[in-house]
Amino acid sequence: MAKIYFVDVTNRDGVQTARLGLSKLEKTMINMYLDKLGIFQSEFGFPTTRHESLYLQANLELAEMGVLNDIRLEGWIRAATADVETAFKLVPSIRHLNLSISTSDIMINGKFQGRRSKVDVLKMMSDAVDAAKEQGAESVGVNAEDASRTDLDFLIKFAIAAKDHGADRFRYCDTLGYDNPFTVYETIKTLAENVEMPIETHCHGDLGMAVANSVAGAKGAIDGGQDVYINTTINGIGERAGNADLVATVLAVTKSKAFAEKHQLGRPIDLKKAWRLAKFASYAFGVPIPVNQPGVGANAFAHASGIHADGVLKDPQNYELYDYTELGRGEPELVETGREICSGEYSGVSGFSHLMGRMAISFKDTEEARRILELVRYANVEAQKPLVEDELLFIAKYPQIAKKLLTLTPPD
């Protein structure tokens, strides 16, 4: 039976969101958390963007070192031969790519202003897939931007052309969040049956249906006989109203009525890491988690009214669909209410050693402490907020990688 996988796009769709961004260290931490969660693939950035080159290379090194153990790191580029060439020039060891191009009439006409036709779109995409394969890409996903507003016959033609040129997956982008669960199910099922190729769902929340559409789309692909790769972002952060939230989508496919019995995950997801991941992303983006967020919101397991509180005290299953411990909640967290030493770009060795000592990290000599502190200072220059413990530990453990992440040299 066809299976469900997750492709998280926080480090691509999430960071291209207006007013929001992540430092290269924060993006790296996200990849680390996603790996521990069991996510199949992280769309970890933009290989044609010069300021990302060292970050992308450093993360590929982490994969080689076995630090990023199972997760696949994939870069997003436009479906253009020139972009493929630039990607491999700037990040020679990249092996997984998703190539994106608009497929709807409204976008082809509106963006290319009559300079390109559908035939040109097919050719650009096919040439780009060929180029990626020639340059050594091990897997290529082809993204149909605005697929939900694209004529279905053309979409099938587009996906078949991608497959014929060796693409491994087809990404159905509901770029504007226009679909509903009924339309996305039908469309993706038809695509799966006619193209016979694994499908990615990429759903946005402009009408509040990103998670529901992802679940329906996944069912469409599976009923059509194909594996599905659901695109998500952490806390649903993404362009405009955002993407399908990772935790909510995992909960939906594993806990909703009769779904899990009929649809299997391709690899197990460890939601015990969800709480830490959601909290970190919230801190890194500077966006609070809504109190009513599924699984990780402050009120997700809170009960006040008499009948509910009484019911949940007698048996949690009366008013809770799943247990908070499944999300990694319930552990006490230390919140400092008195004196506090934080990391900063002007930190000194004494405060820094105190901070690291609290995590039972000691340095062999002052020289080593100063070397790590210097990296922490640079990380603070980029983040402009105190680093969290996991970031400090990461820098202390992988100083050479951290140095790469923090190196930013604009071209002449």
- Burial string for 34-57 (b: 16+ CB within 10 Å, else e) reads bbbbbbbbbbbbbbbbeebbbbbb
**How far apart are the C-alpha atoms of 323 and 370, rounded to whole Å?**
44
Smallest distance from Zn ion to CB 239, Å: 5
For 196-348, where are the alpha helices, taking DSSP H only?
A: 210-223, 246-255, 259-262, 274-285, 306-314
Is 13 or 179 the residue whose CB approaches Zn ion more closely? Answer: 13
253: helix, coil or strand? helix
Smallest distance from Zn ion to CB 174, Å: 9
Q: Does 146 bind Zn ion (CB under 5 A)?
A: no
Q: Residue written as tokens 């009120």?
A: 299
Is 143 or 380 the residue whose CB approaches Zn ion more closely? Answer: 143
Is 83 or 174 the residue whose CB approaches Zn ion more closely? Answer: 174
Is 7 or 396 the residue whose CB approaches Zn ion more closely? Answer: 7
Query: Residues binding Zn ion: what is the number (CB under 5 A)?
Result: 1
> Per CB under 5 A, which region of 7-15, 284-292, 344-352, 362-370 contacts Zn ion?
7-15
Is 175 or 282 the residue whose CB approaches Zn ion more closely? Answer: 175
Smallest distance from Zn ion to CB 8, Å: 12
**How far apart are the C-alpha atoms of 224 and 220, rounded to whole Å?**
6
- Burial string for 82-111 (b: 16+ CB within 10 Å, else e) reads ebbbbbbebbeebbbbbbbbbbbeebbeee
Is 13 or 26 the residue whose CB approaches Zn ion more closely? Answer: 13
The amino acid present at 286, given as its one-letter code, is G
Smallest distance from Zn ion to CB 371, Å: 40
Is 249 or 347 the residue whose CB approaches Zn ion more closely? Answer: 249
Smallest distance from Zn ion to CB 231, Å: 7
Q: State which residue has the least CB distance to Zn ion.
A: 13
**How far apart are the C-alpha atoms of 136 and 259, rounded to whole Å?**
38
Is 13 or 52 the residue whose CB approaches Zn ion more closely? Answer: 13
Q: What is the 3-state secondary structure (H, E, C) of 60-93?
A: HHHHHCCCCCCCEEEEEEECCHHHHHHHHHHCCC
Judging by beta carbons within 10 Å of its beta carbon (0-12, 13-18, 19+), is residue 218 exposed, middle or buried? buried
Inter-CA distances, 251 with 99, 215, 295, 296, 299, Å: 29, 10, 8, 11, 16
Smallest distance from Zn ion to CB 308, Å: 37
Smallest distance from Zn ion to CB 47, Å: 17
Q: Which of the residues 9 through 38 are near Zn ion (CB under 5 A)?
A: 13
Backbone angles phi, psi at 203, to 5 degrees: -115, 140
Give the other-Cβ count within 10 Å of 81's Cβ. 17
* Contact string (CB under 5 A) for Zn ion, positions 73-112, x = contact: ----------------------------------------
Smallest distance from Zn ion to CB 161, Å: 22
> Per CB under 5 A, which region of 5-13, 14-22, 150-158, 381-389 contacts Zn ion?
5-13
| Residue 43 bridge partners (DSSP) | 74
Smallest distance from Zn ion to CB 12, Å: 8
Smallest distance from Zn ion to CB 95, Å: 23
Is 39 or 271 the residue whose CB approaches Zn ion more closely? Answer: 39
Segment holding 7, helix H or strand E? strand 3-8
**How far apart are the C-alpha atoms of 24 and 36, rounded to whole Å?**
19
Task: Pick left, alpha or beta for residue 207 (phi over 0 → left; psi -120 to 50 → alpha; otherwise beta).
Answer: alpha
Q: Which of the residues 317 through 356 are near Zn ion (CB under 5 A)?
A: none
Is 203 or 355 the residue whose CB approaches Zn ion more closely? Answer: 203
Smallest distance from Zn ion to CB 286, Å: 21
The amino acid present at 152, given as its one-letter code, is L
**How far apart are the C-alpha atoms of 98 and 91, rounded to whole Å?**
14
Is 8 or 13 the residue whose CB approaches Zn ion more closely? Answer: 13
Per CB under 5 A, residues contacting Zn ion are 13
